[in-house]
Structure 1
């Protein structure tokens, strides 16, 4: 079961300012490559958040192409519009996309499939809106057992924010099985054409910045009191000591998974 990130506008701004540069931006070129995005193509960014993938795709497709971004959360879409007013930003559900059949050459989804209550339905929709022969490209993360930094971090958050935090933060790592990932696309009507596991990293200037990004920019911000928040930062500093340098900056490995398929 997944949990919807119903973020406020303030949290959506924090997502853009913190999460995008710290984690999401590094995966965009690989996702675009798997999708085969090029000049003149029509592209949709599903569950676009604040639009980091759509913005990059717009640069690639150029004036002859078309890019749309859709997200269920109105605050995310508002921040996306603030970043690039000229793109087609829409509020909509990944399980019922607000586009006609075969409207795009490629549909992309970054770091979101694990949030959908029905990932199979979302994959079917992403396949539906691309033309025959078009591409669906998805990115998620390897399982928590394959994340040496985030595993101890999640344990620390749970100690201070309660068991519900494990369900929320554990969501990120719930779609990391490549075989299952490929099967989702296959069953949705897209023949898998590529898959890749990529080891990247996530960097923060301090432990405090890490906690602010991973807790303060999520619904957990409303579930933990100030005293517990301070204690959490202290605990995280201890459990992630191997990833903290002499200046106090935190750099942790994080493994992402990519899968793409061609619509039959």
Structure 2
């Protein structure tokens, strides 16, 4: 896919609040320790969270750097930042483009980005900016979803969506996995002038109350949710009831593993 065609999935205030209330505790919070551990975030450091969303990585980093450190978060979406400011007003939140970070060179000891880079129109430019604002010898850490092939439940979901809504729908629901090739992601950091020191593929989990909830959340968290023709949503749900039945727990919840990609580098 041409990165210029990548949708940025900008959220409304209502969706940003829902993201913090549901997605953060249900999915995103579990990845922050992987990223912070890999990057060696410690007391006294200056940390930047790029594409911070509502700020789970920044908040978790703040607990580690303590009163002697500083943490900032930057995001393009003001709705996300409004939630971040409400939840953690003591941290620094800035509106800005990942491809033109609003910070001076060498401003941070550690620069991180979690589950966001696949939505940046120009990931390579964002990595060059992350390198610019980290100090010499500092650390850059990136975590993104793994490839679609390494996340079979999502592959089943994507197949159902494609069968019922077409190839354009497939493009929208596979955007999450655009940077899931570990070699390719590592190459992006190397090309940005960073020295890769560690890579990994941490595995977490995703849980939904039901298949109905899974379908609703996955469709409506992308622009696809508002573009479906009449009857298509119902057809997708019916197909998913069969395709994803193997991931149902005894209580009717949906639970499946989720693989990510982690790359740590230094300047």
Alignment RMSD, CA only? 1.5
Q: Deviations over 1:148-175 (max 9, x none)?
A: 1000111223344443221122111121
Structure 2 counterpart of 1:148: 152
CA distance in 2 between counterparts of 1:89 and 1:30 reads 22
- Select the residue among 195, 208, 212 that pairs with 2:212: 208
The alignment status of 1:76 with 2:91, answered yes or no, reads no
The within-5 A match list for 1:9-24 is 9-24=13-28
Name stretches of at least 5 consecutive residues in structure 1 with no aligned partner. none
Structure 1 counterpart of 2:169: 165
Secondary structure of 1:145's aligned partner: helix
Contact 2:74 2:95 in 1 (8 A): yes
Q: Deviations over 1:129-166 (max 9, x none)?
A: 01000000000122111111000111223344443221
Structure 1 counterpart of 2:59: 55
Contact 1:53 1:110 in 2 (8 A): yes
The alignment status of 1:130 with 2:134, answered yes or no, reads yes
Structure 2 counterpart of 1:190: 194
CA distance in 2 between counterparts of 1:22 and 1:238 reads 24
- Select the residue among 101, 112, 115 that pairs with 2:116: 112
Q: Deviations over 1:97-139 (max 9, x none)?
A: 0100000000000011111121111000011101000000000
CA distance in 2 between counterparts of 1:63 and 1:55 reads 13
Contact 2:173 2:222 in 1 (8 A): no
- Select the residue among 3, 10, 20 that pairs with 1:6: 10
**Count of paired positions:** 263
CA distance in 2 between counterparts of 1:206 and 1:200 reads 19
CA distance in 1 between counterparts of 2:64 and 2:176 reads 28
CA distance in 1 between counterparts of 2:224 and 2:29 reads 23
CA distance in 1 between counterparts of 2:229 and 2:54 reads 27
- Select the residue among 92, 106, 117 that pairs with 1:102: 106
CA distance in 2 between counterparts of 1:188 and 1:230 reads 45
Go from structure 1 to structure 2 and tell me whether the alpha carbon gap of 1:223 and 1:76 turns closer, same or farther (over 3 Å shift). Answer: same
Contact 1:6 1:219 in 2 (8 A): no
Contact 2:148 2:174 in 1 (8 A): yes
Q: Deviations over 1:177-236 (max 9, x none)?
A: 222212211221210011011222111111122123222233233223674333332222
Bigger relative contact order, structure 1 or 2 (CA pairs below 8 A, ≥6 apart): 1
Name stretches of at least 5 consecutive residues in structure 2 with no aligned partner. none
Quote how far apart the aligned CAs of 1:260 are: 0.6
- Select the residue among 246, 253, 261 that pairs with 1:249: 253
Taking structure 1 as the reference length, the TM-score comes to: 0.94
- Select the residue among 227, 230, 237 that pairs with 1:233: 237
The within-5 A match list for 1:27-66 is 27-66=31-70
CA distance in 1 between counterparts of 2:79 and 2:230 reads 25
Taking structure 2 as the reference length, the TM-score comes to: 0.93
- Select the residue among 180, 184, 203 that pairs with 1:180: 184
Quote how far apart the aligned CAs of 1:74 are: 1.1
